[in-house]
Amino acid sequence: MSQAIVITSGKGGVGKTTTTANLGVALALSGAKVVVVDADIGLRNLDVVMGLENRIVYDLVDVVEGYCRLRQALIKDKRVDGLFLLPAAQTKDKNAVNPEQMKELIGALKEEHDYIIVDCPAGIEQGFRNAISGADRAVIVTTPEVSAVRDADRITGLLEASGFEKPELIINRIKPRMVARGDMMDIPDIIDILAIDLLGVVPDDDYIVVSTNRGEPAVMTDNSRAGEAYRNIARRIRGEEVPFLDLSEKETIWSRLRRLMRRN
Amino acid sequence: MVFNWFRQKTKTKDVAKDRLRVVLMQDRLSLSHGIMEEMKDEVITAISKYVEIDRPGIEFSWKEIDKRRALVANIPVISIKRGATSNDRVTQRSY
Ligand SMILES: Nc1ncnc2c1ncn2[C@@H]1O[C@H](COP(=O)(O)OP(=O)(O)OP(=O)(O)O)[C@@H](O)[C@H]1O
Ligand SMILES: [Mg+2]
């Protein structure tokens, strides 16, 4: 049974595109047939994060408007078996597509693929409406910051109102050292406030910048903590029970001393 | 600062958590189809049966009182209606 999953957030820049790319690659590496769809029309991005920007001929809007067939617009990732990208249009705006058309498109993709991962634009307008229509499952990405969590709550409400019974949360860019110091909200804090199911936690990792620069999602290497986290999330999506990464860092003598002194 | 080490400070994460709780409560209420407005109207109707209030001066806000979230209504009273007891039907005076 194939499944369409939309990656949302509300607030911009929290890691939707990074998440879409990494989950797409990780799911394909585990043997599934996957299409990642860039629904951020006018702000195409997923192609460069995936390193496929030079191979685009047609895009999502071309398909919807009937300029090409769906298969012609799909870019096959030569590095990973069974992975395809459907790029967004760069020159059109998000009103070029409507929710019914998206639903039809996702339906067509589901006929030949196991997972359709849709990268949603930031915001709650038309682009969001388009991206969520046709999806069976919704994931909300947030960072451990007040503004991002607030927007995640808003998106949760909108998703529930649109018929997604159980949106799932990914907390991205956790900094274990800041959490240990009490300077950053921890996972239980955020889960408690939002009251939704946790799908995964991704640490803040410099390697994400490297991987974006290279166009090679972090899950393609073995030495990225974020990549490891995304591989775990992909396994959970496939229905496996995977324990959450232990992100806690060992305290150094200095940080321990400082913490003890602060307690007085 | 060295001296800060010795002071018991509220952790940043707790500040963040508390602020989020308040703001989400506001968001959720005000978003659920103007429930907040409806609630205000009902409170005003109820109170104005007994006291004459200054409608434009009414303020509803969220506050933190003794570590708990509180909905604070500031309702300026112009006068108390004569004979306003729970059993009486108060005739609405025009103002
Ligand atoms: N776990 C992480 N560690 C370090 N940097 C990260 C992490 N996740 C995302 N970033 C960085 O944050 C930035 C925003 O990420 P991304 O483009 O995925 O967000 P987005 O939600 O898709 O943004 P937009 O709303 O603009 O579409 C990028 O520069 C990315 O490299
Ligand atoms: Mg993006």
Q: How many domains does chain B have?
A: 1
* Residues pairing with B73 in the sheet: B60
Q: How far is CA A79 from CA A4, A16, A29, in A?
A: 23, 22, 10
ipTM: 0.79
Within-domain flag for B1:
no
Q: Using CB atoms within 10 A of its CB, is residue A97 exposed (0-12), middle (13-18) or buried (19+)?
A: buried
Q: What integer pLDDT is reported at residue A254 of this predicted model?
A: 63
Please name the member of A154, A263, A264 whose beta carbon is closest to the beta carbon of B27.
A154
Indicate if ligand 1 lies below 6 Å from the C-beta of A17: yes
Mean pLDDT of chain A: 94
Q: How far is CA A72 from CA A60, A63, A75, A98, A206, in A?
A: 10, 9, 8, 21, 35
3-class secondary structure, A261: helix
DSSP assigned state of A42: T
Range of the domain at B70: 11-80
Please name the member of A150, A182, A264 whose beta carbon is closest to the beta carbon of B27.
A150
Q: How far is the CA of A178 from the centre of ligand 2 (A)?
A: 25
Indicate if ligand 1 lies below 6 Å from the C-beta of A209: yes
Within-domain flag for B94:
no
Q: In chain A, what is the straight-line distance between the N-terminal and C-terminal CA atoms, in Å? A: 58
Question: How many A×B Cβ pairs under 8 Å?
Answer: 51
Q: A21 CA to chain B: closest CA distance, Å?
A: 30
* Residue A58 CB partners (closer than 8 Å, separation 6+): A67, A68, A72, A73
Identify the segments of chain B with pLDDT beneath 70.
1-8, 30-34, 62, 64, 67, 69, 83-95
**3-class SS string, chain B:** CHHHHHCCCCCHHHHHHHHHHHHHHHHHHHHCCCHHHHHHHHHHHHHHCCEEECHHHCEEEEEEECCEEEEEEECCEEEECCCCCCCCCCCCCCC
Indicate if ligand 1 lies below 6 Å from the C-beta of A202: yes
Q: What integer pLDDT is reported at residue B4 of this predicted model?
A: 56
Please name the member of A186, A258, A262 whose beta carbon is closest to the beta carbon of B13.
A186
* Residue A103 CB partners (closer than 8 Å, separation 6+): A133, A134
Summarised one tens digit per residue, pLDDT across range A182-239 is: 999 999 999 999 999 999 999 999 999 999 999 999 999 999 999 999 999 999 999 9
Cβ-based neighbour number of residue A23 at 10 Å: 27
Closest ligand to the CA of A152: 1
Q: How far is the CA of A230 from the centre of ligand 1 (A)?
A: 14
Which chain B residue has its CA at the smallest distance from A149's CA? B20
Within-domain flag for B86:
no
Hey, what are B94's tokens? 């025009």
Residues A176, A182, A184, A187, Cα dihedral to 10°? 70
Indicate if ligand 1 lies below 6 Å from the C-beta of A27: no
Q: What integer pLDDT is reported at residue B9 of this predicted model?
A: 72
Indicate if ligand 1 lies below 6 Å from the C-beta of A9: yes
Q: What integer pLDDT is reported at residue B91 of this predicted model?
A: 45
Within-domain flag for B67:
yes
Name which of A142, A146, A254 to mutate to probe chain B: the one with the most chain B Cβ atoms within 10 A of its Cβ: A146
Identify the segments of chain A with pLDDT beneath 70.
248-264
Separation of CA A136 from chain center: 15
Q: What integer pLDDT is reported at residue B90 of this predicted model?
A: 44
Query: Can you tell me which residue has the tokens 């990656």?
Result: A7
CB contact under 8 A, A150 and B16: no
Q: Which atom of ligand 1 is nearest to the CA of A122?
A: 25
The DSSP bridge pattern shows strands A115-119 and A34-38 to be parallel
**Residue in A18, A205, A210, A214 to alter for ligand 1 test, most ligand atoms within 8 A of Cβ:** A18
Range of the domain at A237: 3-263
Cα radius of gyration rounded to whole Å, chain B: 20
Indicate if ligand 1 lies below 6 Å from the C-beta of A173: yes
Q: Could you tell me the sign of the dihedral formed by the alpha carbons of A187, A190, A191, A192, in that order?
A: positive
CATH number of the domain residue A245 falls in:
3.40.50.300
Name which of A178, A181, A185 to mutate to probe chain B: the one with the most chain B Cβ atoms within 10 A of its Cβ: A185
Q: How many domains does chain A have?
A: 1
A218 and A230 Cβ atoms separated by less than 8 Å: yes
